[in-house]
Amino acid sequence: MNITLRQLRAVAALGRHGSVTRAAGDLHVSPPAVTLQIKAAEDQLGVPLAERSTGSMALTAAGRLVAEAAARIEAVLRETEAGIAALSGAERGAVHVGIISTAKYYAPRALAAFAAAHPGIELRLTVGNRDEIITGLAQHDVDLAIMGRPPTDMKVIADLIGDHPHVVIAPPGHRLAGRRDVPPEELNAEVMLTREAGSGTRRLMEAYAAAAGIAPRLGMQISSNETIKQAVMAGLGIAFLSAHTIDAELRDGRLTRLDIRGTPVIRQWFAVHLAERTMMPASAALLGFLREAGAAFMPGAATANAG
């Protein structure tokens, strides 16, 4: 094939944006230039790569294969650039870090400390749900992901960063506040506000309830930790959340942690990367930093143990 990098980038940009105009803006070229590059790629391959959908443009199955190839090629180019920088003795390069939303309560502080110590390394940060971050890894867009459950359907290497405690929270003045070693059965009389079905926090809450043999009444299903905290403060129920998300509210007394037997439930944070990808010096430096110092940036060592 004689497809050029410009043609690959045009197809990939169209796949990301679903519009020739927006793809052109992303690539800093004119819309006719994008159309021309995609047409040239189609002529090379002998198959259509894009088709008009309802009010937008979408890639065909062949187009998606080309876009995936483009992502892998872009990753190799980034790795090559970083490798050449390493050979020259310069600490340069870029790392695209993907973090699941709960990690946003500590990961940016860790990344800021790393950036201050390594000013020649450029960091890009994407916050998303677990599926979005895993997709970024699979497409070679995300170099390093910070998450609680490494994917099992792809070959990855997961390095431990630190513990991730989950606790039961309630508004101040709750009937169980201040009590010690509360039997889990007490939660059967409570309304439990929950994350959306399929979220890691929701699955962990359900596993804890099943192991404890309890069935609290499920209240509103809310897809945001911040909104759940506000709902708990408003007295709409209690919740099972990551301890890392509630440090500020515990310190200023807007929430309280209930000392329910069997909590905190401890899981771990991992730094995850594809096993098949060569770890470039910039990514390796960040990985080493997270392994050695990442846990120090996690909020609330006291949160997990304080009532």
Q: Which residues of the chain have pLDDT under 50?
A: 301-307
pLDDT tens column, 181-235: 999 999 999 999 998 876 778 889 999 999 999 999 999 899 888 999 999 999 9
CATH level 2 (architecture), domain 91-162+268-297:
3-Layer(aba) Sandwich (3.40)
Closest by CA to 34, choosing from 57, 2, 53, is 57
Handedness of CA 193, 195, 201, 204 (dihedral sign): positive
The DSSP symbol for 182 reads B
C-alpha angle 106/107/108, rounded to 5°? 95
Question: In the chain, what are the domain boundaries?
Answer: 5-68, 91-162+268-297, 163-267
Q: Which amino acid appears at position 294 of this protein?
A: G
Residue 106: phi and psi, rounded to 5, are -140, -30
Q: Write down the pLDDT at residue 306.
A: 41
* 63 within 8 A of 4, measured Cβ to Cβ: no
Q: Which residues contact 181 (CB under 8 A, 6 or more apart)?
A: 259, 261
* 225 within 8 A of 245, measured Cβ to Cβ: yes
pTM for the complete prediction?
Answer: 0.67
Q: How far is CA 211 from the centre of its chain?
A: 28
Q: Write down the pLDDT at residue 276.
A: 86
CB-count exposure of residue 277 (10 Å: 0-12, 13-18, 19+): middle
In the block, tokens 């892998």 appear at 72
Class of CATH domain 5-68: mainly alpha
Q: Write down the pLDDT at residue 261.
A: 95
Q: Write down the pLDDT at residue 92.
A: 73
CATH level 2 (architecture), domain 163-267:
3-Layer(aba) Sandwich (3.40)
Domains 5-68 and 163-267 share a fold: no
Q: How far apart are CA 71 and CA 173, in angstroms?
A: 53
Longest dimension (CA), the chain: 72
